[in-house]
Amino acid sequence: MGTLEKSKMQDLQDIIFTDTHKEVRAKAHEVARKYLLPQAAKHDHAHSYNEEAMSAAAELGLLGTWIPPEYGGTGVGILGLALVVEEFSKADPSFGVAFAVNALGSIPVIMGGTEEQKQKYLPGVARGEISCAFALSEKFAGSDAGGLSVKADKVDGGWAINGEKKWTTNGSRADLITCFAVTDPKSRSRRISAFLVEKDDPGFAIKKLEDKMGIRMVPVAETEYKDCYVSDDRLLGGRPGLGFKHSMMTLDWARPGVAAQGVGTAAGALELATTYATRRKQFGQPIAGFQMIQSMLADMAQQTEAARWLVYMCAAQADAGVSVNKTAAMAKCFATDTAMKVATDAVQVFGGYGFMEDYPIAKFMRDAKILQIYEGTNQVQRLVIARNLVKEAATHDYLGEFIPQEHQETFTEQELVTANT
Ligand SMILES: Cc1cc2nc3c(=O)[nH]c(=O)nc-3n(C[C@H](O)[C@H](O)[C@H](O)COP(=O)(O)OP(=O)(O)OC[C@H]3O[C@@H](n4cnc5c(N)ncnc54)[C@H](O)[C@@H]3O)c2cc1C
């Protein structure tokens, strides 16, 4: 490759990333090297939060990454968020989620909040003074998020929230919890509303802290709302019935963040595996010299790189205001399946040492698993992708002449005809 071609390759990054993108990525890298790599194992074993790293991230302004500049953020949007989360997750996947959950909890305010709500909360989030959580899931409503049972009843001057939420990441630490509750049980489309609950609101309590397989550094809580009173100005967007829409829009925007956790997790596991393979000797030579190990490493690298660019593309689309319903599902599903596969293969490269908790590689595999489950399982992502494909197929009239023309009467159609006569 000539000098000109090399500089063109570097230019590609210049085209895609602004100086501010590069700046936030460099700052995240600094935090990762200084506070995450050396401390990840300690916090994992103790199930303790890495406050020092979060304070450093806040001091460097990283919690304002996705917050628009008019509310005190850096305004580098979802792509900026993805770059930062990737750097963090590469060093400690659990810190990737501890950071990204602040975006998940505050994006509803950015997307659906009133001007007063944005002014009240977003500058504090950007400064790292308001920590966030997103409480949608319940014991009996996970993938089927429309089936919530936590309810909010109208009372004088506000709302009374009652019920329990399950698996609220950062729930026990957050200052602001975006909580979704049923306000109109009879409505199909406007059943749910979102409320901005503050940790000291009367009636809000932590019921239980979950004991987890991975991401042990970040607390995940079962929370309880007992006549939890919130004033009218805490109803997101100021109007009831918009909650389901707000939750789905938020998840579309936040999914590149989870996908970036996947990319970082895969990249971190790959770097560890490659480093180990070049140093570990068996049969008189580094195991990196064996073709089967090379083949694994090569596949891991390809998958990680493909996931990375899918995530960047999706994040850039979100920042450009394009609908990312399909690409966010693709990025989330592909990048997190990649993380699980790459982390598992990395453990294999490490052999017996991979199964031990003495080194971080086992933690990468434990931390990777949740990525395929939360913010919509990867089965649900595939449903979303397929639904979009089917919708798009309706516009493929130009292909009509290239497929069989016969009309096929299906069993369901016959049934309908009979039922209608
Ligand atoms: C550590 C952790 C942190 C979390 N953090 C948060 C959080 O911060 N906020 C929040 O609101 N939630 C959070 N969750 C909840 C998480 O989003 C849900 O666990 C997830 O959406 C799946 O819901 P479920 O566990 O009820 O599984 P279920 O919905 O019961 O699914 C069980 C299985 O059935 C499959 N399945 C379900 N429906 C279909 C379908 N239609 N087609 C095909 N397969 C299907 C699923 O893919 C899965 O494999 C967290 C969960 C965990 C474990």
Q: What digits encode the pLDDT tens for the residues 54-105? A: 999 999 999 999 999 999 999 999 999 999 999 999 999 999 999 999 999 9
Ligand 1 pocket test target in 134, 143, 144 with most atoms within 8 Å of CB: 143
Please name the helix (run of DSSP H) or strand (run of DSSP E) that holds residue 319, with its range, or none.
helix 291-319
Whether 216 and 340 map to the same domain: the answer is: no
Binding site membership of 286 for ligand 1 (Cβ less than 6 Å): no
Tally of domains in the chain: 3
For residue 419, tell me if it sits in a domain: no
Binning pLDDT at 50, 70 and 90, where does residue 415 land? low
Digit-coded pLDDT (tens) for 178-197:
999 999 999 988 999 999 99
Residue 407 confidence (pLDDT):
75
Domain that holds residue 88: 11-131
Whether 305 and 368 map to the same domain: the answer is: yes
C-alpha distance from residue 154 to each of 183, 193, 227, 314 (Å): 8, 12, 11, 39
Last residue of a domain, one of 131, 151, 179: 131
Binding site membership of 136 for ligand 1 (Cβ less than 6 Å): yes
**Considering only CA atoms, which residue is closest to atom 31 of ligand 1?**
143
**Considering only CA atoms, which residue is closest to atom 35 of ligand 1?**
379
- For residue 222, pLDDT over 70 is answered with yes
Are residues 91 and 268 in contact, defined by beta-carbon separation less than 8 angstroms? yes
Binding site membership of 143 for ligand 1 (Cβ less than 6 Å): yes
Residue 402 confidence (pLDDT):
93
Whether 276 and 236 map to the same domain: the answer is: no
Q: What is the mean pLDDT of residues 96-123?
A: 98
Whether 253 and 383 map to the same domain: the answer is: yes
Bridge partners (DSSP) listed for residue 223: 165, 206
For residue 362, tell me if it sits in a domain: yes
Cα–Cα dist 329/252, whole Å = 8
Sign for the pseudo-dihedral over CA of 274, 267, 60, 124: negative
Residue 421 confidence (pLDDT):
44
Whether 323 and 225 map to the same domain: the answer is: no
Q: How many CA atoms lie within 13 A of 257 on its CB side?
A: 28
Is residue 269 helix, strand or coil? helix
Whether 298 and 385 map to the same domain: the answer is: yes
- CATH number, position 320: 1.20.140.10
User: What predicted TM-score, i.e. pTM, was given to this entire model?
Assistant: 0.94
Digit-coded pLDDT (tens) for 24-53:
999 999 999 999 999 999 999 999 999 999
Digit-coded pLDDT (tens) for 367-379:
999 999 999 999 9
Which of 253, 313, 210 is closest to 104 using CA atoms?
Answer: 253
Whether 262 and 384 map to the same domain: the answer is: yes
Whether 253 and 389 map to the same domain: the answer is: yes
Binning pLDDT at 50, 70 and 90, where does residue 412 land? low
| Closest ligand 1 atom, residue 169 Cα | 8
For residue 384, tell me if it sits in a domain: yes
Residue 1 confidence (pLDDT):
44
Whether 309 and 359 map to the same domain: the answer is: yes
Which of 138, 204, 124 is closest to 172 using CA atoms?
Answer: 204
Which of 195, 125, 181 is closest to 149 using CA atoms?
Answer: 181
For residue 401, tell me if it sits in a domain: no
Q: What is the mean pLDDT of residues 393-408?
A: 88
CA of 403 to the centre of ligand 1 (A): 38
Whether 86 and 145 map to the same domain: the answer is: no
Lowest mean pLDDT among 11-20, 265-274, 284-293: 11-20
Q: What is the mean pLDDT of residues 375-393?
A: 97
Q: Which two tokens stand for residue 327?
A: 């690409």
Whether 231 and 260 map to the same domain: the answer is: no
| Closest ligand 1 atom, residue 144 Cα | 29
Whether 254 and 219 map to the same domain: the answer is: no
Are residues 31 and 53 in contact, defined by beta-carbon separation less than 8 angstroms? yes
Binding site membership of 137 for ligand 1 (Cβ less than 6 Å): yes
Q: What is the mean pLDDT of residues 332-348?
A: 98
Higher pLDDT, 421 or 101: 101
Residue 16 confidence (pLDDT):
83
| Closest ligand 1 atom, residue 383 Cα | 42
For residue 400, tell me if it sits in a domain: no
Ligand 1 pocket test target in 99, 131, 167 with most atoms within 8 Å of CB: 167
User: Average model confidence (pLDDT) for the chain?
Assistant: 94
